[in-house]
Structure 1
């Protein structure tokens, strides 16, 4: 999470959406940086709204706008799958090394996913407890040039985005049946991505 005081902008970092590269590039311009611990780096909207927004307001930072990146649900899950399949996760309870992407997505879309398929839920990250979208500016990961143009204009800086935390390549084949299962179980994920700025 990054807070830009002068520009009145708060960047909320949903995991697996290119946030590491963005934060590395934008950190020098930020007034506040929460990066090292995952639970701080990936502060969700509802937690920001409940705690940090009040604190920042007491510091004189009011009328802050929030920004977040959403990735297509299948690609987002694919990034998690590849991340958990890397050698560093060998033997871990959430390793996906010995399973297919098909199995991973099918399990994620089940009623009670196994530990290795629990990776969070993007709508929960960007919505209030009442279910309302609380992010001012949503961008699709797949339309990164639009996000970069927005940030360059808002922050008045040139942004050259390096690649960071790139997961190893893997077979990302998904059957129509499993895709339909995911769309039926989590339609909000697809709707939110579709409604993000394009």
Structure 2
């Protein structure tokens, strides 16, 4: 999470949606950068609105604009899978059983277990309660950086960091259909983003 005091702007760091690159690029401009522990770095919209935003408003008598990124839901899970592969260094035989499709099956059964307690992007972003003011598609980083450049008054160049290892992330039609049903709120939200 990054807080820009003068601009009354807060970046909520959606996991696996470019948050580390944004934080590396913008930390020098932020009034406050929360990067550790992960539970604070990745404070979700509900937690931010319940605890942090009232504190900021109390100090400034102003409302802060909140922004976040959202990744296409299947690509988001692919990123989580590759993230987990970092734990398996010795070779392909150490990749968890079932590959990406097995990982998706585990996600459908226990979503918070394989996403470090996050569950879904729609849940993280507080859809249905108090979502961020602006959600940008991760896949359209240009729109997001233009928004930041306008708000922060400077040119933004995001580095390419935290790149996960290459992996086979194919998914059968049946698994894709099940995943679409499971993540319907995420797909609906993603489709609604400009």
CA distance in 2, matches of 1:116, 1:186: 15
Q: TM-score, normalised by structure 1?
A: 0.88
CA contact (8 A) 1:17 1:71 kept: yes
Question: How many aligned positions are there?
Answer: 188
Counterpart secondary structure, 2:10: strand
CA distance in 2, matches of 1:193, 1:134: 13
CA contact (8 A) 1:104 1:117 kept: no
CA distance in 2, matches of 1:182, 1:171: 17
Deviation at 1:113, TM superposition (A): 5.3
Which residue is equivalent to 1:43? Answer: 43
Are residues 41 and 117 of structure 1, via their aligned partners in 2, closer, same or farther at CA, if it must alter by over 3 Å? closer
Unmatched tracts of structure 2, length 5 or more: none
Deviations 1:56-90 (Å, cap 9, x if unpaired)? Answer: 1122152111000000011000000001011xx24
Residue among 79, 97, 117 paired with 2:95: 97
Where does structure 1 differ by over 6 angstroms across 4 or more consecutive aligned residues?
none
Which residue is equivalent to 1:22? Answer: 22
Relative to structure 2, which stretch is displaced further, 33-42 or 117-126? 117-126
CA contact (8 A) 2:107 2:113 kept: no
CA distance in 2, matches of 1:27, 1:196: 26
CA distance in 1, matches of 2:131, 2:114: 29
Which residue is equivalent to 2:143? Answer: 146
Q: TM-score, normalised by structure 2?
A: 0.90
